Amino acid sequence: MRDWKDRWREKIKTADEAVACVERGQRVFIGTGCGEPQTLLRALIGRADHLADNEFIQTISLGLVPYAEERFTDKFRLNAFFIGPNVRNAVNEGRSDYTPVYLSEISRLIEAGKIPIDVALIQVSPPDEHGYCSLGVSVDITKSAAEAADVVIAQVNQYMPRVLGDSFIHISDIDYVVEAHEPLLEWRADDGESPEEIDRIGRFVAELVDDGSTIQTGYGSIPDAVLRHLKNKKDLGVHTEMFSDGIIDLVESGVITGKKKTVHRGKIVASFCMGTKRLYDFIDNNPVIEFHPSNYTNDPCLIGKHDKMVAINSALEVDLTGQVCADQLGYMFYSGLGGQVDFMRGAARSKGGKPIIALPSTAQGGKVSRIVPRLSEGAGVTTTRGDVHYVVTEYGVAELHGKSIMQRALAMINIAHPKFREELLAAAKFHHYVFLDQSEVPYRGLPYPQEYETYKTFDGVQIFFRPIKPTDEEMMKELFYSFSEETIYQRFMGPKMAMPHRELQHFVNLDYDTRMAIVAIVREKERTKIIGVGRYSLDKTTNIAEVAFVVHDDWQNKGIGTFLMNMLIRIGRDRGIKAFTAEILAENKRMLNLFYKTGLKVETRFEGNTYIVYMPIQ
């Protein structure tokens, strides 16, 4: 039996000799992203005079794309599964094609011959002692293309890392070998977004990631920002279609261990990567890293087998009902379907999974809102409203799963840029998404005071304290109807049977200036509940604010009311409020004691059956 090394030597050609096998009218696959075989591509373009009507098939290109230039219109035509910046004009000017397919399904189309490939140009690492070359940084659909192609031409590059997993091709399956050693293409995030905005988005998304979660992130400034804010998490895993340099620090610091993964425990699984030489050195022969074809990594059924799977994806715009457009700006095709839907649906199937869309609230330097009443004319739906669970901007998190259109619209308005919220609310009213009398107060007052968000543990239960939001109306309604008759009597100083929307919205739609409220929130399984509220209403003529409190019966006598009062005191002092006042029933000794516990000077006078309380706070 002949040694594979003999066959290897026979297959070695120069780049020009190898690509000479490409004939007119043939379909040529080109390796993906940073794995693009630059030497082979240059040689093929150099033979343009000998070619005609050749179709180039590729997922995404990071290098030069002469085959998409106008001068080669009669020679070449690109068919892209994902549109990068370097081919965007060509696609939208009609010189190149875009095929919208989920990344999980492309290999199946190739294998079935629905996307036939005559020649595959790939890039691999040098062979090991058994004659196997690694596809390195780009396994994705490259492995399927190489297996289906009639002819495989491989650029063997010593700079290509040897990546483990289902990532190998044997020398016997390569027809021509071109030894050409050159640094791989590198990629760095540069989205042109405000670092402060992106950092806030990253922090909000990271707060949704629990210890032991398995994460999927893409490439760009938002995924990098998310990774930066995961440094205090424990035992995270990675199952993703691709990753970049951002994961390295988390692996080296022990945040990413994969110990809690339910599939491929201890392994970082992906299908390709894009980054810098530091990343390529990190994945080289690293037993923690496994690359697999995209039809495996992006299989929603496999993704869903990971417990606590968190899928983090981006969008160009999201409408008030939760529909996501990620690949178009109006009629202009901008990117591609990629693996967004694969991972969003997979994460939704996961036990404890979280499908997340993260995007800045505006575009074009703040001139355009990305949160819109309806998607732009011509724009298609990438991810349906039924697939989206969370939407995150720099203004917070909108939890949409299982929510009504009214709840969704209010949640989306709440995370839009403040200067667009009034017009978004007007559009929501016009389309009857919300009540016609829905208050506009929160969108005309001060910005949501995020600085007053905090956590505190009571009896072993962590409680989240934050300013109230318009989206809290449903939880406030539930809180009211869970009160005992005594609690209602003491809070409202008399019996009260109902809390309709026209009254309830007064409690949740605040300007955060003259009226402020802090809610105490607990999470029970997958549900959040308000268990207490402290609020004040300020009379600006006197600079005195009236305060009121209520805590759910099951949570009373635990110190929650006192904590709420101390938060209001802090806010009042920050805002320069002179004093707090309150009116309480004479028998409500518990509330009176709460005021005395603050350490403030408490002045009282008795009127009828109530106490009038006055407390200077400065």
Closest CA to 14 of 181, 184, 179: 179
Catalytic annotation on 486?
no
Q: How big is the chain by its Cα radius of gyration, in Å?
A: 30
- Extract the tokens encoding 279: 């990343």
CA-wise closest residue to 276 among 109, 517, 606, 34 = 34
Helix, coil or strand: residue 3: coil
The number of beta carbons lying within 10 Å of the beta carbon of residue 569 is 20
- Name the β-bridge partners of 169: 133
- C-alpha 354/C-alpha 309 separation (Å) is 6
CA angle 105, 30, 49 (to 5 degrees): 135
| Two structure tokens written together for 343 | 């991972």
Encoded tokens for 401? 């799963």
Q: What are phi and psi of 438, to 5 degrees?
A: -55, 125
Q: Where are the beta strands (DSSP E) in 452-502?
A: 454-458, 461-467
Q: Cα separation of 123 and 134, whole Å?
A: 9
Instruction: Compute CA distances 230 → 216, 290, 328, 526, 555, whole Å.
Output: 13, 22, 30, 22, 32
Among 69, 193, 241, 290, the one annotated catalytic: 241
SS3 category, 379: coil
Q: Please state, in angstroms and rounded to a whole number, the distance separating the CA atoms of residues 336 and 340.
A: 9
Assess contact for 553 and 487: CB atoms under 8 A: yes
- How many other CB atoms sit within 10 Å of the CB of residue 52? 12
**How far is the C-alpha of 531 from the C-alpha of 479, rounded, in Å?**
7
Compute the Cα dihedral for 134, 140, 144, 146 and give only its sign.
negative
Q: Is 152 helix (H, G, I), strand (E, B) or coil?
A: strand
User: In the 8-state DSSP scheme, what is residue 274?
Assistant: -
DSSP 244-306: -THHHHHHHTTSB--TT-SSSTT-EEESEE---HHHHHHHTT-TTEEE--HHHHT-HHHHHTS
| Residue positions annotated with a catalytic role | 241
